[in-house]
């Protein structure tokens, strides 16, 4: 079967079920097929679709898992993750900018996945440690160094995918592997 066939590829199916255009401001929806980042407000972006797909493949999300989505932006990655975990799983998105939390919640309200939420970040706190541990953590912003506070929120066999100083890392408690070079907006906690 073709790897882009949604039946054979759950990531392709998630992309079909949750089109990027539905998670963009109306003025940008005509550009949804652009394979590059699009500014969604507050200096934040909707990541390049090819990059999002690569990150999701590295993350290897399974049905029923508990997932943290750091830097949820418009809610698109949270929706994609929600499709991958299904109704027996849970996705908790976290976003620093209040206007994007509101935007993401509005987008997700139309998405019919009640197991997916986006919460406001607490100043100075990375992730949502009060809900840890997580089976998977996706970070959609560039860290200057590996965020140990997010790694600590992983379950014993958990996986985190995070860009650090331009390099995409796949992180477990025992191993860190490198997977290419990428550009993202900076990871901040304020």
Tell which residue, 111, 109, 62, has the closest CA to residue 90. 62
Residue with tokens 């976290």: 94
Residue from 47, 72, 74, 140 carrying the catalytic annotation: 47
Coil, strand or helix: which one is 123? coil
CA 43 to chain centre: 17
Q: Is 155 part of the annotated catalytic residue set?
A: no
Residues in the chain: 190
Strands of the sheet containing 176-181, edge to edge, are: 116-120, 90-95, 66-70, 134-139, 154-164, 167-171, 176-181
Paired with 117 in beta bridges are: 92
DSSP letter at 16 equals H
| Contact of 162 with 141, CB cutoff 8 Å | no
Please list the active-site residues: 47
């Amino acid at each position: 079967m073709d790897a882009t066939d949604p039946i054979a590829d759950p990531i392709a199916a998630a992309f079909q079920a949750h089109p990027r255009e539905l998670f963009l401001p109306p003025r940008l929806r005509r550009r949804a097929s652009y394979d590059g980042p699009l500014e969604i407000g507050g200096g934040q972006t909707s990541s390049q679709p090819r990059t999002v797909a690569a990150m999701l493949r590295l993350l290897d999300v399974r049905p029923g898992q508990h997932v943290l989505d750091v830097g949820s932006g418009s809610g698109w990655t949270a929706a994609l993750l929600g499709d991958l975990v299904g109704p027996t799983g849970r996705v908790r998105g976290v976003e620093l900018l209040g206007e994007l939390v509101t935007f993401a919640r509005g987008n997700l309200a139309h998405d019919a996945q009640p197991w997916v939420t986006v919460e406001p970040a607490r100043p100075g706190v990375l992730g949502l440690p009060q809900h840890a541990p997580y089976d998977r953590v996706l970070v959609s912003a560039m860290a200057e160094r590996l965020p140990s506070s997010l790694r600590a929120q992983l379950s014993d066999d958990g996986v985190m995918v995070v860009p650090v100083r331009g390099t995409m890392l796949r992180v477990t408690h025992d191993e860190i592997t490198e997977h290419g070079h990428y550009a993202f907006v900076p990871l901040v906690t304020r």
